[in-house]
Amino acid sequence: DTGVSQDPRHKITKRGQNVTFRCDPISEHNRLYWYRQTLGQGPEFLTYFQNEAQLEKSRLLSDRFSAERPKGSFSTLEIQRTEQGDSAMYLCASSLVLGETQYFGPGTRLLVL
Amino acid sequence: QQQVKQSPQSLIVQKGGIPIINCAYENTAFDYFPWYQQFPGKGPALLIAIRPDVSEKKEGRFTISFNKSAKQFSLHIMDSQPGDSATYFCAASGGATNKLIFGTGTLLAVQP
């Protein structure tokens, strides 16, 4: 078990471009979460999947953001028409259905120029 | 009501000291209170967690104290070491999704 992995680790893009991040949770973890962390702040919840179903989305997740978890395995987070305010660390976490411990990946740091 | 308030914002202690970080919450539906440690450029890593049916939990050098009536909880780090220098976040969760609501973090520096 190698833990939660995220790809890429860093992404620099120009304003208006689309970006996609990938998260591979710990195997057999049914719950998957996306959070966003800006400098000097704690992570903020974006969205939650149980298996392949997206069960909750934060109001932070504007219509430019979309997340998927096909087949209940890895997940992708896409940001369309990026804005400078999207610059942040995007964190993925996973947990077992009946457990509470969320294990975080290393994050994808996004910089929008 | 979803907020978790954390203090202090930063903390400097000498090696061997006992830094204490405090958090407070409003939402009585929260039923799980973890602490995470984060190093620069890394994701948060779980240190220790507590549920409101216990007032204290200890794991190694880390202790959580929990006061349900005051809706407050705190992290104590015994015999702190320079390697403990990191940012510490308290969090709370509850309900069907168990999404975590994080505090704003405490930057701890342990001087040798």
Query: What's the pLDDT tens digit per position in B2-13?
Result: 699 999 999 999
* pLDDT surpassing 90 at residue A98: no
Measured CA to CA, the distance from residue B21 to residue B23 in angstroms comes to 7
A12-16, A28-32, B89-93: which has the minimum mean pLDDT? Answer: A28-32
User: Which residues in chain A (20-39) have CB-CB distances under 8 A to chain B?
Assistant: 31, 33, 35
Residues of A in contact with B101 (CB under 8 A): 45
Which tokens hold the place of B106? Answer: 């405490």
**Strand ranges in A1-113 using DSSP code E only, listed in sequence order:** 5-7, 10-13, 19-24, 31-37, 44-50, 53-57, 65-68, 75-79, 88-95, 103-104, 108-112
pLDDT band, residue A90 (cuts 50/70/90): very high
* pLDDT surpassing 60 at residue B99: yes
Torsion on CA atoms A35, A38, A43, A45, rounded to nearest 10: -40
pLDDT tens digit sequence for A33-86: 999 999 989 999 999 999 999 999 998 888 999 999 998 899 999 999 999 999
Q: What is the pLDDT of residue A99?
A: 62
Whether A104 has its CB under 8 Å from any CB of chain B: the answer is: yes
**Strand ranges in chain B using DSSP code E only, listed in sequence order:** 4-7, 10-14, 20-25, 33-38, 45-50, 56-59, 62-67, 72-77, 86-92, 101-102, 106-111
* pLDDT surpassing 90 at residue A104: yes
Q: What is the pLDDT of residue A7?
A: 97
User: Which residues in chain A (59-78) have CB-CB distances under 8 A to chain B?
Assistant: none
Residue among B64, B92, B91 nearest B78 (CA): B64
Residue among A52, A81, A49 nearest A64 (CA): A81
Q: What is the pLDDT of residue A96?
A: 87
